[in-house]
Amino acid sequence: MSPNRQSQIKVTDDQLKIFLNCSEVFNACDSEDIDFILSQIKTYHYDNETVIAHREDVGDQIRFVIKGSLNIVATSLDGKEVRFPPIGPNRWVGWISCFDIQALSHDWVATSNSDILVIPGTAIRKLCTKNPDLYPKIMAEINRQFKLLMSWTEFVSLHSLSARACMLIHILAQISATPMDNKPGWLQVDVTQEHLASFLNLSRQTANKLLVGLEKDGFINIGYRKILINTAYLNR
């Protein structure tokens, strides 16, 4: 991993408002609150894969992926890297860290060529103190993360390898994928074969065989550093 290189970038308020609209929490804010939030946002660009928060840090901020992705990377007791599926564009994450004074249990890693928005936890808490109706909306965001983590736990416990590969695609569709403008009905996930194999906790060869099986079924399309997902096959 290359040294932490970040540069702050400029994004227009109109653009930022579109990003804020991706969360029900901000949708429930009045224009005065939105102006306050706009004054607190910082946007960063990362040229290379960068650890943007270390496991010893206190989180205390929410992040939004504009471009690229955010990865949660834990290191298990036996020194193995445990990588969760990447959080893809147009998603807000980290709500729980704004109400938790404990240190993170994992690193947050931004992928190369990513643009990430940051809002400090103090701003979120200030908003909630002023407008307590936001709390249940934040809880709804946390619930969503919680359920995904439950799915992930079920996923890693699955015995059948083909069921695991299939469930992985469903999880990626939820947290990593972006709709494709030029291919309606398909989602794109930027992910390497190596990472797909590590999510599956399998060798690249075995993982590849499973994914090629799903490709033959028409569920996915495997590309270079990406996979495409056919939404017609989701929720079947």
Q: In the complex, which residues of this chain contact its own copies (CB under 8 A)? A: 74, 76-78, 80, 82, 84, 96, 99-100, 102, 105-106, 125, 128-129, 132, 135-136, 138-140, 142-143, 145-147, 149-154, 156-160, 163, 166-167, 201
Minimum distance from residue 93 beta carbon to its own copies (Å): 13
Minimum distance from residue 151 beta carbon to its own copies (Å): 7
> Cβ closer to its own copies: 36 or 99?
99
> Cβ closer to its own copies: 35 or 154?
154
> Cβ closer to its own copies: 19 or 95?
95
Q: What is the largest CA-CA distance in the chain?
A: 54
Minimum distance from residue 217 beta carbon to its own copies (Å): 15
> Cβ closer to its own copies: 104 or 177?
104
Minimum distance from residue 80 beta carbon to its own copies (Å): 6
Minimum distance from residue 180 beta carbon to its own copies (Å): 26
> Cβ closer to its own copies: 128 or 228?
128
Helix pair angle (193-200, 161-175), 10° resolution: 120
> Cβ closer to its own copies: 142 or 232?
142
Minimum distance from residue 121 beta carbon to its own copies (Å): 11
Minimum distance from residue 144 beta carbon to its own copies (Å): 9
CA–CA distance, 201 with 131 (Å, rounded to integer)? 44
> Cα separations (Å) of 191 from 32, 45, 93, 150, 227?
39, 19, 19, 22, 7
Contact (CB, 8 A) for 43 and 9: yes
> Cβ closer to its own copies: 51 or 74?
74
CA–CA distance, 26 with 9 (Å, rounded to integer)? 22
